[in-house]
Structures are given as structure tokens and as C-alpha cells.
Structure 1
Amino acid sequence: MEKKTEIEKKVNVRDLTICDATAQMLEKARRDGVETAFDRAINMKACPIGADSACCKHCAMGPCRLNAKDPYGKVGVCGADIDTIQARNFSRMVASGAAAHTDHGMSMLDLFREVVNGHITDYSIKDPLKLESVAQSIGIETEGKSVAEIAKELYTELEKTYIQIEGEIPFMKRVPPKTLETWRKLGVVPRGAMREIMEMMHRTHMGVDQHYENLAQQFTRTAISDGWGGSMVATEISDILFGTPSPICVEVNMGVLKENQVNIIIHGHEPNLFESILESVNEPSLVQAAKDAGAAGINLVGMCCSGAEMLSRHGIPHAGNFMSTEAILVTGAVDALGVDVQCIKQGLAKVAECYGTPMFTTNSRCRIEGAVHIPFDDHHPKECTDEIVIRAITRFKHRTHPIEIPNIVNVGVHGFSHEYINYMLGGSFRGSYTPLNENIINGRIRGVAGVVGCTNPRVKQDWVHVELVKELIKNDILVLQTGCSQIALAKAGLTVPEAAILAGPGLREVCETVGMPPVLGMGSCVDNSRILVAAAEMVREGGLGDSLASLPVAGAAPEWMSEKAISIGQYFVASGVYTVFGVTFPIVEHTKFYKMMFEDFEKQGLGKWGFAVDPYEMARMMIDHIDKKRKALGIDKARERTLFDMADRRSMEAA
């Protein structure tokens, strides 16, 4: 238990989040004397020099701090100027983010190899049609071959994504030819993820690459190896092994916890842990053990990105996004928290201890002091997940802390994979993106926006996501979602078909005709690759230009917080998408590096970066860009941008 500071006492929790359940639990945490990330953010002032990326700590002659207000006034001890320092820092963020996604994808591919070779029997190929389509997309002949034969060939080919040292990674075959031509001209086509990340780290070592443009070439190539490589492999293999998502109605928010049941939460990013514990919680002997302990049953709940995958794939209820993870433990109702990798706060262990919740790490890559480690082995997965369930039942039987579960449950429709969108627009025999393209061309849909990413305690939780998306759909822009962002929108009621009433007349007509929400949840943050595949299909379908950069689309990560987000942003920029980040951005304005990122990339045939803190400004920037692309395509029509006044917003909140 921690003593609250005077600053924390003065800050109203309603200024920290728009999530009522999280606010309720933050108030309880304060009463209980328990510290959360929200409190730490209040008490930890962000370093202004670091936020601007005006410092370098890559060698022991420093750290060197430059002045963002006079960026060319001095240089580091080695002579590195502001552009080199910014480029190095940004490069290392891309390398780290790409490594996280790439390692995740490699884990999925390792699992796939062992399943295909018969060494792992707890998992199997659930979607042979997806297996066949992925194989065909990279040039593998499937006619007359068995599932096993196709799978072995696919593994061999996809392994090149990681270990290849020359040539082009396999999924370059999915990239529109004009975009690929641009990448080849710029020298940014990835050879293999391991080589690109290794070279990126080498180049940023003291005394190696000291030209921001040359560093940018390599961090672009590294980012592409993530989006069109490691991340795409992770998504496609997960679909093949565990099933391709299709729309399903799912409950979200903390009300999914049940006081009379054993509540188990799984948090992280790798779906194999979650798939295994889904088996364990349905094991008859363990269900009976829970009942013998006095529980009505076992309640499995997701959190963060692996939760988003299970929400999309199996309809498992979801308790909350990244900034709600500690608050959920404050309910006292969580009987076990199992985690694997990525976006897991070390502070969870302390909060879990305060409420008597056993916390378990399962992956060798992630151990946390204060959490019990139960190794997860793909060859014998239930040895880990059964143990988590057994210990959760024991905790339920001996609960000592008062239970307070917010009585809030929201319902949303999720699981809009590329394959289902294709089917949704044309059915089994006429499935295609033609209706989407036609409705963009005729103006009913103004464009498409990907609004994705994390939540960040430096801004009010969920608010920027929700307000931005409201502005976009009001202006007839279809929104695609992944990661924690889609949970924010689900809590706001924007992921149900009825939300089309809040959309502009054109988008509303399309949504009502198809029966879809104006906001399509597509899975976890690694599933941003689904958006890339959808964008490539829009180009292939025709009528919207011959490259990804010609599409009337834009992207945003309104509350980003991790290096993974930087890598995601850069691979979207490289793919031709105008990408706007919120909260903060690691760059100094009025520098050559800034001009390259925010202007010159677009002149090279790529996308470009944007930055805004205010969601309405962010919406204006994205809409203006989409209108610019429509004009270039010759499909622009006279129309006004609709921005809400306060009366409009109040009426929407009331609805």
C-alpha cells in the first residue's frame, strides 16, 4: 500500500479517464492507498529534452543534451548534430518495435513448424482454406497437394521473412506493383527481418551512420520488415492455427467479471497461451473443482491485445485496455492474472499483491519480480494453464478482500478480418472490394481511416480515440480499428450497427445496407497487417489509383505509448499512408529531420507523418488529406467538413 501524494489527491479521477469503470476503481484504489500508473504519471514529469528527442545516450562521452529551442546551436561531444541524434533515436525505436513484432511472429512460426511436423498435438490447423490462400498469395502452387504438403512449403517460404540475408521477403508479392516499384527505387525492400534489425542497431552505434537520410532509409526498410513481414506472419499463422475471425457480438468492460465465479484474466500478446487456457477452463475436472470450492463456474476474461484476439476469434469477454489493467485488479475479484509478453506493467505485480491476486508470468522473455513464474511450453501447454486454473480456484476459495465490480458491460461487434470484409461486401461467390471502392468513388464513403494503438496516462484515457472517431464517421469516413483503441470504442458504443446513426448520411446508408458498424474492430495491434492487406486489395480492385499512396486513406494512433507504435507508424508511412500521432512525438520542429518526416517522405512517393494532440485538429488533418487524395483521383465532390459543436457532442453522449 502506498501513501497518496497531495497532487494525486487534488486530481479528480474524472480528469484522467472517460471510462466510468476505470474511474470507479481509481477512486477505490485511492481509498485503499494503492498506487496505479495514473498516479505515477501525475508525479513523474516527462523529460522535455527526451520528449523532443534532443538527447543522446549512445556512448559514455555523454549523455549529450541539445537545446530544442536552438537546435543547431550546439552538437554532441562526438560532433553529432540534432538531425543525426533524432534519426538515431527514432531508428532505435523502430528497431525495438519491429523486434517485438518480429519475435512474436517468429514464435508463431516456430509453433506452426512443430504442429506441421507432428511434434505438437495440442494445436492443429483450424483453417485450411486460409492456409491455402496465404500459400497462393506468395506464389506456392496448391493444386493437388495435401494440407500437410502445403503447410510445410508455406513454413519454408515464410521462414525467409526472418533469416534471409538477400532478396525480398515473401509478402512483397502482396504489395501493389507501383508501391513495390517505389520501394525498390528507394532501396527499402526488406531482405530479412533479422538482418534489417541487426543492421539498424549497428548503424546507430556511436561513430557509424551519421546522416539522417541514410538512417531513414534503413529504419524504413526495418519498419517494412515488421508490417509486411513479422507482424503479417504472426496474424496469418494465428488465423491458420486458431481460426480466421468473423463478426461476433462480445461483452467488454469490467462488468464481465463475476463475483460468484473464479475469474481468470490473461494479458499479453501471444494467442497460444490464451488458446490453451481456454481448454483448461473447460476441463470437466477443473470445472468441478471450482464448484467444489463454492464457485458457480470459471470465468475466463481477456485484457489488452491477446484479449482482443480472443474477443475477435472466440467471443471471449474483454475486461479493459492497457490503462485499465491495474484498475481491474482493484475490483478484488480477479483470482489469477496470467501474462506473457508486451505491454505488461511491472506495477501490476504490486497491485496484484495488494488485493491478494496471484500473478503468473509464463514466457521466458518476461519475468517480473513479485510474480510467480510458471513456464509455458508449446509441447505441453496445459501443464502451465491447468496450474494457473488450479491456483485461481484456490484463491477463490480463500478470498479475503472485499469485492467491488463496476456494474458496467458494453456490447460490441468485432472480428472483421480481411476475409470477412471481402465476403461481407459480396457474399461467397461474388466476394470482392468492388462495393467499397465504388462507394468511395461515388462519395458515399469519403475515405477510410485506421485509428489504432494504445492508451497513455499523459492524456485522458480513451477520450482522444472516441472523439476522433466520432468526428471521422460524422464525415463519412469508415474507421478500422486494432488493439486497445477498439476497446475504447467498444466501451463508447461505436462498434455496433446501431452506431451508424452517428455517421454521415453516406456512410450511414452503406452501414445500414450491409448491416455493419461504422467502426470495424480487426484484432490486436499485430493485426494492423490486416489493414495493409485490405489497402492492397483496394488498389488491386481498381478505380482508386495504382499504389497504396494514391488511396484516400489516413491513419492515427491518438494515444500511442510504445516503440511498437513507432514501428507501426513508420511502416504505414512507408506504405503510403498519412499517419497522425497524438500525445507527443520524438522530434524537434524546424529541423531537416522534421522536414523529411513531415514533408519529404510524401514527395518520394510514400506517406508522411502528422502530429496533433487535439482530436478535432487530428480529424481535420486526416479529412483534409483524404480530400486531397480524392481530388488527385478526380473523384472529389463539393462537400463540407462537419465538425461538432458542443450541443452536437452533448446529444451524442446522451444517446
Structure 2
Amino acid sequence: MAEATKAPAKAPKLADPMEASIDVATQEMIRRAQQLQIETVFDRAVTMKPCAIGMQGICCKNCAMGPCRLPLPKDGIQGEDTRKGLCGATANTIAARNFIRMIAGGAAAHSDHGRGVAETFLSVARKETEDYTIKDPAKLRAIAPYYGVETTVEADGETLDRDIDEIALAVAESAIAEWGKNGGELLYLDRAPKPLQEKWEAMGVKPRAIDREIVEIMHRTHMGVDQDYKNLMKQGARASLADGWGGSMIGTDLQDVMFGTPSPLQSEANLGIMKEDHVNIIVHGHEPLLSEMIVAASQSQEMLDYAKEKGAKGIQLGGICCTANEILQRHGVPPAGTYLQQELAIITGACDAMVVDVQCVFQNLANVAKCFHTKLITTHPIAKMEQENVIHIEFDEHYAMQDAKRIVKMAIDNFQERGAEIMIPRHKTKQIAGFGVESIQYHLGGTFRGDYYTLNDNIINGRIRGIAGVVGCNNARTKHNDAHIKIIKELIKNDVIVLTTGCSAIAAGMEGLLTPEAAGVHCGPGLAEVCETVGIPPVLHLGSCVDNSRILLAATEVVKAGGLGDDISDLPAAGSAPEWMSEKAISIGQYFVSSGVYTVFGYHMPVEGAPVFKDYLYKDMEKMYGGKWDCEADPIKHAHKMIAHIDKKRAALGIDKARERVLMDMADRQALGME
């Protein structure tokens, strides 16, 4: 009897590099990975399809009677929606529970980041570490009053500056208490415009303590607890505000105090920043506590001399994700790429060490690293990998420089272990980064006014149509960087100035949009004139994803400067997350909506299977907070939804008509400064 022949195994489906990304460097590295038969996220996105019911937000797995799936009927809802889970939970309840659990996950991630920063700052204040110091005492004095901390003392009839160490300790102790205090509300809520605070009060969504709001979501969404989608979203709004006006904002402020408040600087972006004749260290994740020390260690003469002993010309540090943004905005260290490029940095063959902390780190990095000499090093106690080839060096802020030098030395020692095949894409782009509330005030407000007057004036006279925040992740279900870039270009073409953070900021840098020269190429005439006059890019890089709190404060400063309404919801402004993928994005989106911002997400939103709940987010929330959700996958339509909203707000303010330019003499300017 003839032996049966086996059918030949089908070749695995592979991503088309041209369809996977708009970035040439990324396309080159996808091809290289496929030639080496190394699987990447781009290939996995082709072979693994998403769950259609889960995407619609109507799959409940909160108890062991499920998962309960409530697909929409093919002909839509006709009459009463009778879909129910085993316990009777409706599609609206299930979608709302899933949605606010995403808020809880995102708020927990941002706020735990902030907690780590606050704990390190407490160590600094207590003089328990010598490696960190207070680099921006002026910012410490500026934020101290929000914590109820006095910055001056009375002595012998004189008002004197209080000792900075005393201020630091009092601020640190007050900040730490924000995570678990009993009674009261978050202190930073007082930074919001008064009308917005009054809305929060009326809606009953003022956060009490950061951890409490996250825990309450988990309780409410347990089987058999909160079953009213409106009441569930009330807690979702409260937890999101605990993120945006709490954990994230505290983290950003205390990082500025310890590491220095960013100011504009020049750097580069993309995989081409890696150097074949240098030791290449890639830091990846979201917390700057260790990366700050790695920057210092890699620039120390001791480590540079050691690298030369091992045959390298120097040490090239690069970043992925928001750790990249943190060290970029303070030190000019160039980002090697966005979230989806993390595997590709190793596939160059030139990455001697990849050092990761928390959030957005692929477990598959370990599998990719096995194919090369790269040392993959985890550093955080809550973020380990199961693979044997991963090295864990637990970071301790009390021995920060010691830990950093150990890691840098390990990378240097690994330089000589490289294989013969190195392929670093030659693509990199110049960028200007490091903007913040203070630097925007300097560039667009000026030292004369000391506020955002010039920005407001140019919005009122129509040169700047409005403000857009374009932020967030990449998503392997969408074309890498495509939506970010198309939306940003469409906005600035229509005279909308863009504030950007996270991987969106890195994408903009890779595309060359973070330079003043970009204004003349891509902007409408009004925005181009402002950028040329002031010398800024039309797209301002404000930092990492916790630094979205900077956008909230910048919007508040615009309100304070006057002429554009009394609340954030009055501003000609809109928010966007074109390629979102993480729970953090949902938390960010909700705290912007709850703060009065029209917020558009790309790709999809996990609410399509619950039309009533969707309408609540997309329509009813605007009546409550002044902001609302929206979703549009098409980048150009997405941008024009934002522009239409900006134009609606301009009309409501009565500034929809261009105004004649008035040249002012010194007497006019002095008159403007009078109360």
C-alpha cells in the first residue's frame, strides 16, 4: 500500500511592507526581518484577525458564566433591544463596563508611573539619594501652593523665601497623599478654570483619591454591581480626571522639578540614529527614573573610555516610545522609533542592549533578541518576562547611578559580540522638541505679557484657526504612522496649530514636521506667518503620554489669557488619537472629554455594538461637560471633523470673520496691560 504523501505546509502570510507603514526605514526593516524569517508584529497582524464582537464592546467575561457575547442583529436593532447576558446584563451595561475598565487600566498605568516619580521625589526630599536632585527649584515653588505649601516665611518683619528643602519635603508628602488620602478631593483640580470645576461639582465627578477611583471602577464592574451605563460612566469620568488632573499631572510636574523643565532643543528621529561604530543602547518604556541615569552614565568619561577600550568610538543612546520622549525633551537624545518599531531596532543587528521598564513592551522582543547578540534587560519589579534569555536588573532609586553604570557596562561588553550582518537604515530626520506650558508661553506669549496673549490674539484675528492635540499610540491594525501624519498635515494646512505627545510626536518628528521650516511647506498662510515670525514649528512636541497634562494646562492658560471664552469647552480646540491601541488612550480621551474637549479617535471605538451607549458618549456628554467623543477612521474626514468643530467654536465666540491687523505702539501695549 502506497504511503500517503503529506501536503506541503503553507507558507505563512507575511505583511506587505508598503502597506504596513509609510516610513521607509520601517519598510526596509520589515523586509529584512522577513528575509531572516523573524516574525514581527506586522506579520502577526496579518495572520491573527481581531474578534469582531470584542471590537464592538459587547463581550462580557467578568464572571465564569461567560463569556457572554451579544452581537448586533444583521439588520440592526428593530424596536426594543432584547439582547442579554446570562445574568440579564444588557449590551449598554456590558459596553459601559468594558469601557470604564479600560479607563481604570489606563488611569492605573499613568498614575502608578506618577506614584513612582512621587516616591523618588520623596527620597530626594529626605536626602536618601545623591543621584537625583532638584534641578528646577522655580517650578517647585510654582506648584507648591497647589499642595497647600507656603513658599515664604515671615522673619523680623520681612518676607523671605522659605528653604527649598523644606518646600520639597512638604510637597513630596502632600503629593504622595493624593493616591490614598481619606476625605477631600484632588488638589490639582483647583488648576482648572472655575466654570469647569463647577461642572465637575454639579456632575459629582470630582476625584477624591487616585487609587480609590480606580478601585471603585473594579468594584462597580464586578458581576452584579452597577448596571446603569450612565452611572458607570460617571465613575469612568471621575477616574479619568484622577489620571489627567491627578497622577499624570503630578508625575509630569515632579519629573520637571527633578530632571528639569523641558525647553526647545534640536535632535533627530528614526532608526537611522543608530551607529555601526558605536555601542547602541535603546531604552524603551515610559518611566524616566532609570533612563535619566542611563543618559548620565553613558555620557560619563568613565563609560566613554571603557567603550573605546572595547573598540567602539562612543556610546549612542536612543529611545522607543515615551521613555524616548522623556530623554529627548530634556537631553536631546534621539528617538529610534515609535511603539511598532521596537522589534526592528533589534533586527538592525546593532542594538547591543535594549533596556525596558513598563508599558507597551512586546514580550516578543525576547524571541527577536534570541536571533541576535542583543542583551534584553528588564528593570522594573512589576514587569518581567518569562523567557530565559532576558536579564532582570531591578532598578533601585537609592542606587540609581550604580544600576545605570552596570547596565551601560553590560552593553559595552556586548559590543564585540555582534554578528557580521549589520543593517541600520540610513533614514533619520531633524526635529525640534522640548516644548511645554512655560516655553509655549515664552514663544507665543512673550516676556512682555507673561501669558498666552499673542497666541490668543492670533486665534482671534484668524491667522491661527484653532488648536489641536494629536496624541497617542500606533496600532498594527492600521498603517503605521499614516493616520497621524495625514491628520496633522491636513490640520496645519488649514491653519490649526498642533500640540503632540507620545508616539504621535515621534511619528511627526520622523516625517520632518517638528521643524520651523515645515511651516513654509505644509501650513496655510496664517499659521505659516506666525511660525515664521516666532521661529517655531507648526507642530509642538510636548512630551510623553503622561505629559498630556501639559495640554490641559496650556488650554487653561489660553482661557486665562482672555478673549476666547471662560472655559476649555469654549476654545476653538479639538483632540485626536489617530492610531490608538492602549487602555491609556481611553483614559486620556475621557479626561479630555470630561474637561470639555471634542475628542476624535481613529480606527474604531469599542462601543459600536451598543448604539444607545454610543450615543451617550457621542452626543449626551457634550451637554454635561462641553466635550464629547467621536470616531472616524478616514484621516482626512477625521481632520475635517476637528476643523468643523473648531469653526463652530469660532462662530460661537464671534471670531469667525477675519479681523484687520492693527499695529500697536508702546502706549497701546501699556494700556493692554492695565486692569
Give the structure-2-normalised TM-score.
0.92
Give 3-state SS (helix, strand or coil) of 2:444's partner. Answer: helix
How many residues are aligned here? 636
Q: Does 1:482 align with 2:501?
A: yes
The verdict on how the C-alpha distance between 1:124 and 1:638 changes in structure 2, with shifts beyond 3 A counting, is closer
Instruction: Give the 3 Å change call, closer, same or farther, for CA 284–585 of structure 1 in structure 2.
Output: same
Q: Does 1:564 align with 2:588?
A: no
User: C-alpha distance in 1, partners of 2:310/2:13?
Assistant: 39
Q: Distance in 2 between matches of 1:231 and 1:337?
A: 26
Aligned to 2:13: 8
Corresponding residue for residue 36 of structure 1: 40
The residue correspondences of 1:521-600 to structure 2 (distance < 5 A) are: 521-588=541-608, 591-600=611-620
Q: Is the 1:580–1:611 Cα contact (8 Å) retained in structure 2?
A: yes
In structure 1, what is the equivalent of residue 392 of structure 2?
Answer: 373
Higher deviation after alignment, 347-356 or 511-520: 347-356
Q: Which residue of 2 aligns with 1:307?
A: 324
SS in 2 for 1:319: strand
1:356–1:401 Cα contact (<8 Å) kept? no
Unmatched runs of 5 consecutive residues or more in structure 1? 640-655
The answer to whether structure 1 residue 287 and structure 2 residue 292 are counterparts is no
The CA deviation at 1:45 is: 0.2
8 A contact 1:157–1:170 mirrored in 2:
no
Q: Does 1:424 align with 2:443?
A: yes
Spell out the pairing of 1:508-527 with structure 2 (5 A cutoff).
508-527=528-547
How far is the alpha carbon of 1:401 from its aligned partner?
4.4
Alpha-carbon separation, structure 2, partners of 1:67 and 1:452: 31
Deviation at 1:138, TM superposition (A): 4.8
Alpha-carbon distance between aligned partners in 1 of 2:106 and 2:135, rounded to the nearest angstrom: 29
The structure 2 residue matched to 1:397, chosen from 416, 425, 428, is 416
- Which residue pairs with 2:649 in the alignment? 629
One of 60, 63, 84 as aligned partner of 2:64: 60
Out of 388, 397, 409, the position equivalent to 2:428 is 409
Change (3 A) 1:462 1:603: same
Which residue of the other structure, out of 132, 136, 144, is the alignment partner of 1:127?
136
State the shift of 1:5 in Å.
Answer: 6.6
1:454 aligns with 2:473: yes
Residues 281-322 of structure 1, C-alpha deviations (whole Å, 9 max, x = no match): 123332222111111111111111011111111101110010
Residue matched to 1:145:
162
**Equivalent position of 2:205 in the other structure:** 188
Return 5+ residue gaps in structure 2 as ranges. 1-7, 153-160, 660-675
> SS of 1:62's equivalent?
coil
Taking the TM superposition and a 5 Å limit, the aligned residue runs for 1:150-299 are: 150-299=167-316
Q: Is the 8 A contact 1:7 1:42 kept in 2?
A: no
Q: State the partner residue of 2:155.
A: none
Deviation (angstroms), 1:508 = 0.9
CA contact (8 A) 2:461 2:658 kept: no
Q: Distance in 1 between matches of 2:309 and 2:449?
A: 53
Q: Distance in 2 between matches of 1:136 and 1:428?
A: 23
Q: CA deviation at 1:428?
A: 3.7
The one of 630, 633, 656 equivalent to 1:610 is 630
**2:484 maps to 1:465:** yes
| 2:501 is aligned with 1:497 | no
Instruction: Answer yes or no: is the 8 Å Cα contact 2:595–2:625 preserved in 1.
Output: no
> What secondary structure sits across from 1:597 in the alignment?
helix
CA separation of 1:387 and 1:75: change in aligned 2, threshold 3 A: same
Deviations 1:236-284 (A, max 9, x none): 0000000000000111111111101111111111111111111221233
SS in 2 for 1:379: helix
Q: Partner of 1:263: helix, strand, or coil?
A: strand
Give the Cα–Cα distance (whole angstroms) in 2 for the partners of residues 605 and 60 of structure 1.
37
Give me the whole-angstrom Cα distance separating, in 2, the residues matched to 1:120 and 1:138. 23
SS of residue in 1 equivalent to 2:117: helix
Contact preservation (8 Å) 1:425, 1:431: no
Q: In the alignment, residue 471 of structure 2 is paired with which amino acid? A: V
Classify the secondary structure of the residue corresponding to 2:374: coil
The TM-score normalised by the length of structure 1 is 0.95
Q: Is the 8 A contact 1:138 1:174 kept in 2?
A: no
Structure 2 distance, partners of 1:281, 1:493, is 27
The residue type paired with residue 493 of structure 2 is K
Larger Rg: 2
Name the SS for the 1:413 alignment partner. strand
Residue 540 to residue 589, structure 1, CA distance change in 2 (3 Å): farther
Q: Deviations over 1:97-121 (max 9, x none)?
A: 0000010000000000000010111
1:287 and 1:478 map into 2 onto residues whose CA distance is 41
Alpha-carbon offset, residue 168 of structure 1: 1.4
Higher mean C-alpha deviation, range 130-139 or range 546-555: 130-139
